[in-house]
Amino acid sequence: MTDRSVAETTVGQGPRWHALLETLRTEDDAVIEGTVSRLQETVPGYEMVNREALAASARRNIALSIRIIRAGVDPRPDEVPEADALANERMGQGVPLGSVLSGFRISMINILRRLIEMAPDFDVPSDEVVECSALLWSLGDVFSSRATSVYRDREIARAVADEARRSEWIGKAVSEDRDISELLWGAAMYNVPTDVPLRVLAAPTHAEEGPGAANSLCEWAQRAGVRLITSVQSSVIVGIVIGEIDDEAVEPETTVGVGQPERLENLARSFHAASLALRAAESLGRRGVVDVESLSWRLGVHASPETTELLRERYIAPLEHAGAFRLELLESVRAYLDNRMNIPAAARSIPVHVNTLRYRLRRFEELTGADLGDVDGLIEVSWALAAEGRSPHL
């Protein structure tokens, strides 16, 4: 019976049902003992639960079943608070959700079996026993739904708490203000080695990306053969890299600054270098894994904006009036620098005729006053082009 508006029912009503249910309530030892024994013998997780606790739970299930049978209608979720109490108790005892649901089914089966055995002694019609069994199965569905919600909510709360603890520990591990005992606690908790150097990485994240950026980093870490522990610190993904990064691995899609290897107690230095590399690489428009060594003098593009602006005005701004030819000039100069001032190789890389390349280089020098044969001039032009952020080689 699933329609709660139906009042005409005999299940659970009348003197025969009253006597049957009272007998079940007062002579429940066999049901309880059978339930407890089967739980501990067949359901994983229950072998370590105290028998007295299991007996008390089985007794509560009998009382709950009697209440539902007497009501004569399918129970609503809010009418079965016992499910929440039992789920919380079993979760605290380390019993997995699947075992809790199996345990409740075993209890319901034993109760129903006892009712079927007793029904003839109290002249309860078989069709009413069938309806009674339907009520108990409905109770099982409601119980399962509520217990599952409890486990899900507790797991979510636990995951959030674990994430907060990990984030706090990573934040302290990469800061100057850290306590060595806290570092060692976190290292033990998150399986971070304390006897080998580690690297810290920094990567950008945005609120609209959600966990996507961190997940992408973890996928890259797997490809690179390292383990990564991450958290978001002030809108930046901070990660502790465990293992040696495979330089041949496919690069991440975003910019990742990586610091130099340091022992656990000195990770603040690695984090500082990773942050510097990230900020510099972003200003240069670079993607993939970068560190201060690979950026070299290009760090100055970010660190010295005054110098960057000066050189841009000297070598980039004069090309603004060249129209579409501006891009061809910049492309040619980049090719020239990328190929170590080897004109034939640079021409092939674009590709253009060597005379075309020579003409463009000469035109660039005329428009900007640059001297591409002078060391200082080469450095300044390279700096200005790097500030444009369009070449992965600069």
**pLDDT tens per residue, range 6-20:** 334 577 788 999 999
How high is the pLDDT of residue 211? 64
Cα dist. 151→79, 86, 102, 140 in Å?
19, 11, 15, 16
Q: Confidence band (pLDDT; 50, 70, 90) for 287?
A: confident
| Mean pLDDT value of segment 126-147 | 93
261 lies in the same domain as 327: no
Q: Supply the Cα-derived Rg of the chain in whole angstroms.
A: 36
23 lies in the same domain as 146: yes
244 lies in the same domain as 353: no
How high is the pLDDT of residue 210? 56
Question: Domain ends where: 156, 189, 215?
Answer: 156
Does residue 36 carry a pLDDT above 60?
A: yes
| Mean pLDDT value of segment 264-279 | 94
| Mean pLDDT value of segment 241-252 | 90
Cβ-contact 292, 281 below 8 angstroms = no
125 lies in the same domain as 215: no
241 lies in the same domain as 314: no
| 3-state SS assignment for residue 257 | strand
**pLDDT tens per residue, range 222-232:** 999 999 999 98
| 3-state SS assignment for residue 358 | helix
Residues comprising the chain, all counted:
394
Residues 6 or more apart whose CB falls under 8 angstroms from that of 9 comprise 1, 72, 73, 131
Q: Is 318 part of a structural domain of the chain?
A: yes
| Mean pLDDT value of segment 246-272 | 92
CATH number for the domain spanning 145: value is 1.10.490
- The number of folded domains in the chain is 3
How high is the pLDDT of residue 201? 95
What are residue 238's phi and psi, to 5 degrees?
-110, 130
Q: Is 176 part of a structural domain of the chain?
A: no
**pLDDT tens per residue, range 58-83:** 999 999 999 999 998 999 999 999 99
Cβ-contact 297, 380 below 8 angstroms = no
What amino acid occupies position 361? Answer: L
| Mean pLDDT value of segment 334-347 | 94
269 lies in the same domain as 308: no
* Nearest alpha-carbon partner for 278 in 261, 295, 265: 295
290-323 in b/e form (b: 16+ CB < 10 A) is: bbbeebeebbbbbeeeeebeebbebbbebbeeee
Cβ-contact 113, 65 below 8 angstroms = no
231 lies in the same domain as 203: yes
250 lies in the same domain as 213: yes
Q: Determine how many CB atoms are found less than 10 A away from the CB of residue 174.
A: 25
Q: Confidence band (pLDDT; 50, 70, 90) for 389?
A: low
Question: Domain ends where: 241, 272, 300?
Answer: 300
10 Å CB burial of residue 41 (0-12, 13-18, 19+) is exposed
How high is the pLDDT of residue 8? 41
User: CA neighbours within 13 Å on the CB side: how many for 365?
Assistant: 13
204 lies in the same domain as 265: yes
Give the chain's count of helices (H) and strands (E). Answer: 16, 5
Q: Confidence band (pLDDT; 50, 70, 90) for 5?
A: very low
How high is the pLDDT of residue 303? 86
- d(CA 124, CA 359) in angstroms, rounded, equals 107
Q: Is 369 part of a structural domain of the chain?
A: yes
Question: Domain ends where: 300, 323, 342?
Answer: 300
- Helix residue ranges per DSSP H, 224-353: 267-284, 292-295, 299-303, 305-315, 325-338, 343-349
Residues 6 or more apart whose CB falls under 8 angstroms from that of 324 comprise none
- d(CA 15, CA 71) in angstroms, rounded, equals 15
Q: Confidence band (pLDDT; 50, 70, 90) for 28?
A: confident
Structure tokens at 363: 């035109």
pTM over 0.75: no
**pLDDT tens per residue, range 88-115:** 999 888 899 999 999 999 999 999 999 9
Q: Name the percent of the chain lying above pLDDT 70.
A: 95
Residue 290: which H helix or E strand, with range? Answer: strand 288-290
268 lies in the same domain as 311: no
**pLDDT tens per residue, range 141-195:** 999 999 999 999 999 998 889 989 999 999 999 998 778 888 999 999 999 999 9
How high is the pLDDT of residue 57? 93
Q: Is 103 part of a structural domain of the chain?
A: yes
Q: Is 1 part of a structural domain of the chain?
A: no
**Domain boundaries, position 383:** 304-388
* Nearest alpha-carbon partner for 122 in 23, 11, 8: 23
Q: Is 171 part of a structural domain of the chain?
A: no
Q: Is 165 part of a structural domain of the chain?
A: no
CATH number for the domain spanning 339: value is 1.10.10.2840
| Mean pLDDT value of segment 31-52 | 92
Which one is predicted more confidently, 390 or 169? Answer: 169
88 lies in the same domain as 211: no
Q: Confidence band (pLDDT; 50, 70, 90) for 206?
A: low
294 lies in the same domain as 198: yes
| Mean pLDDT value of segment 317-342 | 92
Contacts within 8 Å (CB) and 24+ apart, 50-56? 53/89, 53/93
